[in-house]
Amino acid sequence: MIYLVIISLFLHLISFFIIVVLFQRLDNQKPLDKEKTLKEMEDLLISYTTEMKDNNERLARRMAHLTPSVKATPVTPKLSFEEKETGSSPAFSDEVDELHGTNVKEDVNEPIEEASDTKYAEYEPPLPSSEKEVSVEPSDTSKVLSLNKQGYTEQEIAKKLDMGAGEVALLLKFYKD
């Protein structure tokens, strides 16, 4: 009987020890300072958005150099029903459009072309070709996570995928195991 009491006490001590160890591990996993964690996430988001803004500005500058200047076409104002009936446009009689340098006065007798179903009766939409193979490209998120599992650093991943370092850091923080 004493033998069973000793075994019971021994098992109770072991279970208490295990409970204390698990409690300590649980406390270690909790963030120590929620304010600090929130501040870090806020700073990360701010740096990510400023980096996106810079990238967008660079893209806009590149696009401005690449796109040819678009030739402006004259825009004629729409007349109200009364102006069409009377044939006069008091607001636009002899004004000149400043942007295009054209006379704004519109010919009221010009017929208005309406869309009709006969124009599109012969139209057939293109059908998908069965010869084409559908290729699926992995998303940036999956590429980042895959490279991270392979052991690449945030900076290396950003360079490899031509992404911002803040974006990579944000993705890794959101998808952290």
Q: What is the pLDDT of residues 71-100, one digit of tens each?
A: 445 555 555 555 555 555 444 444 444 444
What's 110's DSSP letter? S
Q: Looking at the whole model, is its pTM more than 0.75? A: no
In this structure, are residues 96 and 103 in contact, taking their beta carbons and an 8 Å threshold?
Answer: yes
Return the pLDDT at 27: 79
Return the pLDDT at 26: 84
Q: What is the pLDDT of residues 93-127, one digit of tens each?
A: 444 444 444 444 444 455 555 555 666 677 777 77
**Pairing mode of beta strands 102-103, 96-97:** antiparallel
In angstroms, rounded to a whole number, what is the distance separating the alpha carbons of residues 61 and 55? 10
Return the pLDDT at 63: 85
Run of H or E including 47: helix 34-66
Give me 79's structure tokens.
Answer: 């007349």
List of E strands, the chain: 96-97, 102-103
